[in-house]
């Protein structure tokens, strides 16, 4: 049974509703950029949607040394692409966790290890 007390509502709000809303808003925001006349660019969409979820999870930032301005911008772009790819995987894991949390709340096993 779903617990709908103050703590239960706070848990539903911060673990399900707010993350789903923010993820959906970000995905809808990125969609028009990737929808081109030639078709939908799925790789660019993956990178753009995953970027805010993965750029701070990168363990290694490539630091440009002894490059000109072009090389430094290229290394920064590579950092952004790698962060976006990592973030795409992190986003999928977040969505799976949100779905698992919904099932836990529906089944009433939210505070227990199942």
* Dihedral sign for Cα atoms in the order 43, 83, 15, 33: negative
Q: What is the pLDDT of residue 56?
A: 80
- Summarised one tens digit per residue, pLDDT across range 52-103 is 998 887 766 677 788 888 988 888 888 889 999 999 999 999 999 999 988 8
pTM for this prediction: 0.78
């Amino acid at each position: 049974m779903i617990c709908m007390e103050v703590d239960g509502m706070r848990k539903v709000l911060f673990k399900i509703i707010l993350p789903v809303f923010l993820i959906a808003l970000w995905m809808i925001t990125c969609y028009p950029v990737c929808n081109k006349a030639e078709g939908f660019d799925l790789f660019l969409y993956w990178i753009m949607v995953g970027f805010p979820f993965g750029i701070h999870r990168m363990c290694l930032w490539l630091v440009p040394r002894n490059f000109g301005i072009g090389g430094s911008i290229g290394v920064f772009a590579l950092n952004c692409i790698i962060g976006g790819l990592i973030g795409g995987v992190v986003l999928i894991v977040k969505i799976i966790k949100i779905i698992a949390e919904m099932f836990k709340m529906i089944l009433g096993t939210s505070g227990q290890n199942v």
